[in-house]
Amino acid sequence: MQKDTLIQCHRRIRPYIHNTPVLSSRAINRMAGADLLFKCENFQKGGAYKMRGATNAVLQLFGKLPVVTHSSGNFAQALSLAAKSAGVEAFIVMPSTAPQVKKNAVAEYGGKIIECEPSLAAREAAAQEIERETGAVLIHPSNDENVIVGQGTACMELLEEHPDLEFVLAPVGGGGLIAGTSLAAHYFGTSCRVIGGEPFAVDDAYRSLKSGRIEANETTDTVADGLKTQLGDKSFPLIQRYVDSIIRVTEAEIIKAMRLIWERMKIVVEPSSAVALAAVLRKKEKFADRKVGIIVSGGNVDLGNLPF
């Protein structure tokens, strides 16, 4: 993908998204021994960076074709909202076991929910049926070039404000955010290295980079519920090419970093968002006195079920 693809994408989606603020905390900087700049996608429409990729994907469609995805998380809300802005229908396949609060959020943004059994096979089958019946276009939450480029615009905006960043960190789930981030850093940074943060419990990206092929997660036992998904064949080659390394963190480190952000920065962020800060705090020597960007992925949490 070329530099111009990112520039055009940003121009295309800009009217539909927020250029989210960049915050910092002197207390956290002191603890980290580095100059950290947090790109706050928790303030993005729909509460997460997913709105960027979803909007780019929807706006790239010719005509007013409906869209369909299978997701129980932030992408479901993002696609519903992006489709609404663009004036197209969105069908969202969700497992029947998805929390009611997530179903409500999708419905509120105008997405049409189709329930299915809680298995990947059932989700894919239900989505295919909708494609056949309605002519809807399937948009994958992360393994889609338009989505990947869209997610990269958060890092583009961060580098516009701070062109001299030496590192940018983002969490790694399906790989869309880190792949887009690494593209943006490659084209718009000045020797800016991109590092992924990943829970030990779902370290498929770490192991995939080691082995050179896409590895599967063996468990999904992490508090960072947005990071349970697997890398895809669109995101992995970009990650191999442009991502410097992956730092793995423990569950305790994630929860501690999350609490630190809430207490010191007074913002609500998801556990997944705290993984990048946890990585910086785990490898302090690597980032000492450096200027480091952190992509805060989102703020959609169940306040009735916090890990602290």
Q: Which residues in this chain contact a second copy in the complex, by CB under 8 A?
A: 21, 42-43, 47, 259, 262-263, 266-269, 299, 303-304, 306, 308
Could you give the strand order of the β-sheet that contains 112-116, starting from the edge strand earlier in sequence? Answer: 112-116, 90-95, 67-70, 137-138
Minimum distance from residue 214 beta carbon to a second copy (Å): 33
> Residue 47 or 176: which CB sits closer to a second copy?
47
Minimum distance from residue 38 beta carbon to a second copy (Å): 12
How many angstroms separate the CA atoms of 265 and 143, rounded?
Answer: 32
Torsion sign across C-alpha atoms 17, 84, 61, 123: positive
> Residue 28 or 269: which CB sits closer to a second copy?
269
Strands (E) across 59-164 are located at: 67-70, 90-95, 112-116, 137-138
Minimum distance from residue 302 beta carbon to a second copy (Å): 9
How many angstroms separate the CA atoms of 204 and 198, rounded?
Answer: 9
How many angstroms separate the CA atoms of 270 and 222, rounded?
Answer: 12
> Residue 75 or 167: which CB sits closer to a second copy?
75
Q: Which DSSP letter does residue 220 get?
A: -
Minimum distance from residue 252 beta carbon to a second copy (Å): 15
Strands (E) across 10-122 are located at: 22-23, 35-40, 67-70, 90-95, 112-116
Select from 20, 2, 19, 82 the least CA-distant residue to 50.
82
Torsion sign across C-alpha atoms 180, 181, 186, 188: positive
Minimum distance from residue 3 beta carbon to a second copy (Å): 32
Select from 57, 75, 68, 47 the least CA-distant residue to 13.
57
Minimum distance from residue 108 beta carbon to a second copy (Å): 8
> Residue 44 or 71: which CB sits closer to a second copy?
44
How many angstroms separate the CA atoms of 294 and 171, rounded?
Answer: 9
Select from 139, 145, 150 the least CA-distant residue to 111.
139
> Residue 43 or 206: which CB sits closer to a second copy?
43
> Residue 249 or 269: which CB sits closer to a second copy?
269
Q: What are phi and psi of 173, to 5 degrees?
A: -120, -100
Minimum distance from residue 266 beta carbon to a second copy (Å): 4
> Residue 104 or 190: which CB sits closer to a second copy?
104
Helix or strand holding residue 39 (H, E): strand 35-40
Minimum distance from residue 258 beta carbon to a second copy (Å): 10
> Residue 65 or 267: which CB sits closer to a second copy?
267
